[in-house]
């Protein structure tokens, strides 16, 4: 299903709490959150999502529809790496993730990068399938420490060649 009237725009600092909460809710409802088994201080993690969105709005693209924030993606270091892609649980499988990913890839290509990279939790089969369907190929898999979760995760790094932006 495709969501219509989708708008992608730069994040606004005054929406940091709403945007951060979307990221936290998406994490909590994903295999990331389910497999966590209580190891993470969830209040602290929610606050980290909000702080990131408040401190780095220039790195974030937000998807909204009918005045509702539906998801967001970020390039924390403004390079070829997509650091975050979070879609509200109620908006998943409606084209929001694809639209955000395409917008992030376009921004990466406009900066002259030949490829985009991202990582996801290997246990998140839905995310792995999503990135494969979007043309990403796995280039690495291994254990990687997550500072925000404070433990190691089995991660997969994906890469996708990009066309030059028009």
Per-residue pLDDT of 6-60, as tens digits, reads 999 999 999 999 999 999 999 999 987 887 767 788 899 999 999 999 999 999 9
Average pLDDT over residues 128-146: 97
Residue 166 lies in a domain: no
Read off the CATH number of the domain in which 62 is found.
Answer: 3.40.630.30
Residue 45 lies in a domain: yes
Residue 1 lies in a domain: no
Please determine, for residue 2, whether its predicted confidence score (pLDDT) is greater than 60. Answer: no
**Which pLDDT value is given to residue 166?**
53
**Contact (Cβ atoms closer than 8 angstroms) between residue 127 and residue 120:** yes
Token digits of residue 127: 């995310």
String of DSSP letters for 31-91: HHHHHTTT-S-HHHHHHHHHHHHHH-GGGEEEEEETTEEEEEEE-TTSSSEE-EEEE-GGG
pLDDT in tens, 104-125: 999 999 999 999 999 999 999 9
Q: Tally the domains of the chain.
A: 1
How far apart CA 57 and CA 13 sit, in angstroms, is 6
Residue 41 lies in a domain: yes
- List CB contacts of 95: < 8 A, sequence separation 6 or more: 1, 2, 3, 6
Residue 94 lies in a domain: yes
Q: What is the residue range of 136's domain? A: 6-161
Q: What is the pTM of this model?
A: 0.93
Pairing of strands 6-10, 68-74: unpaired
């Amino acid at each position: 299903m495709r969501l219509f009237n989708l708008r992608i725009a730069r994040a606004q600092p005054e929406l940091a709490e709403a945007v951060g909460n979307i990221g936290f809710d998406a994490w909590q409802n994903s295999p990331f959150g389910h497999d966590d088994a209580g190891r993470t201080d969830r209040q602290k993690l929610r606050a980290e999502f909000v702080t990131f969105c408040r401190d780095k709005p220039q790195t974030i693209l937000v998807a909204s529809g009918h005045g509702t924030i539906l998801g967001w993606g970020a390039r924390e270091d403004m390079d070829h790496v997509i650091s975050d892609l979070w879609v509200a649980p109620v908006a998943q499988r409606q084209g929001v993730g694809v639209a955000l990913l395409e917008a992030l890839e376009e921004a990466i290509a406009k900066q002259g990068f030949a490829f985009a990279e991202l990582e996801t939790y290997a246990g998140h089969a839905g995310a792995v399938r999503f990135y494969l369907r979007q043309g990403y190929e796995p280039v690495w898999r291994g254990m990687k420490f997550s500072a925000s979760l404070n433990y190691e995760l089995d991660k997969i790094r994906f890469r996708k060649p990009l066309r030059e932006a028009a």
